[in-house]
Amino acid sequence: MADNKPGWFTRMAKAASRFTGRPLCFMLALGVVLAWVISGPIFGFSDTWQLVINTGTTIVTFLMVFLIQNTQNRDTQALQIKLDELIRSTQGAHNALLDLEELEEDELEKFRGRYEALAEKARNCAPEDDDDAGTPEVRVDQPKPGP
């Protein structure tokens, strides 16, 4: 069986994400800012005093962008796989909808148009009409394989 242990970056990113999302981390950051503000008069609100907070916040922000992006990428991939499994396992669902996130924009717009038309039809039907409930059939053409 293959080793499913995540790589060092994934482990570090998950740990950093868990830590930075907690109230304790916010309180630590707030404490740093308060200490910086309180130390202003001690250092005469000098350029160096300002540079310290500017540099620190820039570095933290720069690094957090990558951690946040990594976390969002993992979450999005997991969500897409779960949605694909629901589509695959649902009787009557269109398997052509699997892995839609990999399609080009114009192909996505064709799918969106079909489902917008279905939604519009459901909104405009009479309350006693069954077209607003259930799973009406939607014609979904299989995309042609790329070159």
Q: What's the confidence (pLDDT) of residue 1?
A: 47
Sequence ranges of the domains in the chain: 9-97, 103-133
Say if residues 143 and 98 touch (Cβ distance below 8 Å).
no
For the cut 70, the answer to whether the pLDDT of residue 5 exceeds it is: yes
Angle, alpha carbons 109-113-144 (nearest 5°): 55
For the cut 60, the answer to whether the pLDDT of residue 99 exceeds it is: yes
Q: Please state the three-class secondary structure of 8-27 as a single string.
A: HHHHHHHHHHHHHCCHHHHH
Mean residue pLDDT of the chain comes to 86
Give 123 or 72, the one with higher predicted confidence: 72
For the cut 60, the answer to whether the pLDDT of residue 145 exceeds it is: no
| pTM reported for the whole predicted model | 0.64
How do residues 14-64 score in pLDDT, each as one tens digit? 899 899 989 999 999 999 999 999 999 999 999 999 999 999 999 999 999
**Model confidence band, residue 130 (pLDDT cutoffs 50, 70, 90):** low
Q: What's the confidence (pLDDT) of residue 143?
A: 55
Q: What's the confidence (pLDDT) of residue 100?
A: 87
From residue 112, alpha-carbon distances to 17, 40, 125, 140 in Å are 34, 56, 20, 11
